[in-house]
């Protein structure tokens, strides 16, 4: 079974080396692979080209999606000579069987998976993952809570010491929802990041100003989006 990847340009898979811009591994040189498809539909999604192929503002599937063998994907990753792999999307765990075969071809790499926290990683994949960056979607994402916040999945991730939670926050009203989820699932503060929603530096700085105080008040950790400051809202960065 091959992998379905997002593209940088039509036909060119989004596999690249960059600086990790978010969460606990920020500033670390990393190799990224962006998979296509998602089971949610955030209204502010900055990678909608991985899943929005119908309706208003739809992306053309053929130009934004490419199917590639696991072996070729591994070759492209290894050619970038990194020792840390970040698998992102879309929702990577929708392609768990093929992803497990990919990671088996990359021994020695530290593997992070960025996920929305709604899909269970099967054992064949889970044993190859060093870190989960789970980003549960709050009400402002536009997703129904029944789809976006799956209790058994959030409980399992919260109990796994490999998991870091990253909540995207757009307004101060979102903070109460983060606090409630932290309490409900006993998420340790040292593994809880809040990150401003935004795709330009001015918005990120403005929201970070009041998010910093929230982190001081609650003991949370603050995440920036460093790649936006460095490269803008562009693919392959």
pLDDT band at 50, cuts 50/70/90? very high
Write out the DSSP string of 102-142: HHHT-TT-EEEEEE-S-SPPPHHHHTT-SEEEE----GGG-
Report strand pairing: 29-34 vs 15-19: antiparallel
Where do the domains of the chain lie, and which CATH numbers do they carry? 3-231 (3.20.20.70)
How far is the C-alpha of 110 from the C-alpha of 104, rounded, in Å? Answer: 12
Report strand pairing: 163-169 vs 3-9: unpaired
Give the residues across from 163 on adjacent strands. Answer: 132
Q: Which helix (H) or strand (E) holds 65?
A: strand 65-68
- Could you read off the pLDDT of 71-93 as tens digits, one per residue? 999 999 999 999 999 999 999 99
Give the residues across from 31 on adjacent strands. Answer: 17, 85
Report pLDDT for 9. Answer: 97
- Could you read off the pLDDT of 122-180 as tens digits, one per residue? 999 999 999 999 999 999 999 999 999 999 999 999 999 999 999 999 999 999 999 99
Residues listed for the chain? 237
């Amino acid at each position: 079974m091959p992998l379905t990847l997002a593209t940088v340009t039509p036909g060119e898979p989004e596999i690249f080396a960059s600086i990790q811009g978010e969460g606990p591994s920020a500033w670390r040189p990393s190799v990224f692979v962006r998979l296509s498809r998602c089971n949610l539909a955030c209204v502010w999604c900055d990678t909608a080209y991985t899943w929005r192929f119908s309706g208003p503002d739809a992306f053309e599937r053929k130009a934004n999606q490419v199917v590639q063998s696991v072996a070729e994907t591994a070759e492209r990753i290894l050619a970038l000579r990194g020792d840390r792999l970040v698998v992102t999307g879309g929702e990577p765990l929708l392609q768990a069987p093929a992803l497990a075969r990919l990671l088996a071809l990359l021994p020695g790499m530290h593997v992070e998976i960025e996920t929305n926290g709604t899909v269970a990683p099967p054992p064949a994949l889970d044993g190859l993952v060093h870190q989960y960056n789970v980003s549960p979607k709050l009400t402002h994402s536009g997703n129904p809570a029944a789809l976006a916040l799956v209790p058994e999945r959030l409980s399992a991730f919260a109990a796994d010491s490999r998991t870091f939670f990253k909540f995207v926050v757009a307004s101060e009203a979102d903070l109460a929802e983060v606090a409630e989820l932290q309490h409900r699932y006993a998420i340790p503060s040292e593994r809880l990041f809040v990150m401003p929603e935004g795709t330009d530096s001015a918005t990120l700085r403005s929201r970070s100003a009041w998010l910093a105080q929230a982190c001081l008040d609650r003991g949370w950790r603050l995440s920036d989006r460093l790649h936006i400051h460095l490269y803008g809202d562009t693919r392959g960065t």
